[in-house]
Structure 1
Amino acid sequence: MSLLAENLIPLSLSVNGRPYQLSVTGNTRLLDLLRQDLGLTGTKEGCAVGECGACTVVMNSEAVCSCMILAAQCQESQIVTIEGLKDDPLAQQLQQSFIKRGGVQCGFCTPGVLMSSWALLKKYQRPSQQQVLDALEGNLCRCTGYQPILNAINAVIEDITP
């Protein structure tokens, strides 16, 4: 048995509702597992140090930077990526609102911003403006100036609450 095979860690997790049984090295990041091993390239790598939010996914109902999470830390976790939102009505509503209000420009940050927004609205049906700002605090966007993103999220909040 090779040295590499001896250092593999068995991993059981769910990604976008699909169960996986994998083996990973101790230094494999969740981002790398998603992009390289599972082919889920909607999750982007920006800064690689947890500052930009381009790699945001939802892990056990919380938005996290997948570049800062080791795959081995995801044992028995439920992971949702941008690909996992394709048939989700709330995600579709967010996407349309972003398009309509100019919250999408170059698009590089969009998957991470949508994941953060979706996680927020799954957790709080009517979040305060401070909760919206807090949820987006880890997502950098160099194009929109943030106001169109905030407008898009606030429009969805108004639509989904009585």
Structure 2
Amino acid sequence: MCTGCCLLADDLNHQADLGQERRTLCLDVWELPTSVDSAVAINDLSVVVDLLNIVNQKASLWKLDLCTTVLPQIEKLLQSKYESYVQTGCTSLKLILQRFLPLITDILAAPPSVGVDISREERLHKCRLCFKQLKSISGLVKSRSGLSGRHGSAFRELHLLMASLD
């Protein structure tokens, strides 16, 4: 093998080892919010994809806190050149919309409460943040809903689910 090929192979092996170390760092700490925060802090979408693929398999793991953290990452995934990243982003967004959009819209539409309710205020803050992030993502979803193929149909489905944001 030529020297350039050996260097390339060594570099690819090193990258694979780094990726595995990053995944291990995130998944060893199996408290989900901490794992997600670690994955986002690493700033490596492949780690975010791996983590989301795990969470997507068990919808009950999704919480409003998780949504506020991963929605900006999902927006990046939806714009990725990698098909698997886009697919994971679409799947995650669909789960969030199905599970949380009714809750978000109900909480935002509710009249203000009388007295001090800290947990309600925190929930309201999270819902406002999620709504803002979802509005940002909805423009991207709308622009990609005209694509053909599997991703096009996924974006069209997401666009329909996001119709209530308009």
TM-score (norm 2): 0.29
TM-score (norm 1): 0.29
Higher relative contact order (CA 8 A, sep 6+): 1
Whose strand fraction is larger, Structure 1's or Structure 2's? 1
Give 1 or 2 for the bigger CA radius of gyration.
2
Whose helix fraction is larger, Structure 1's or Structure 2's? 2
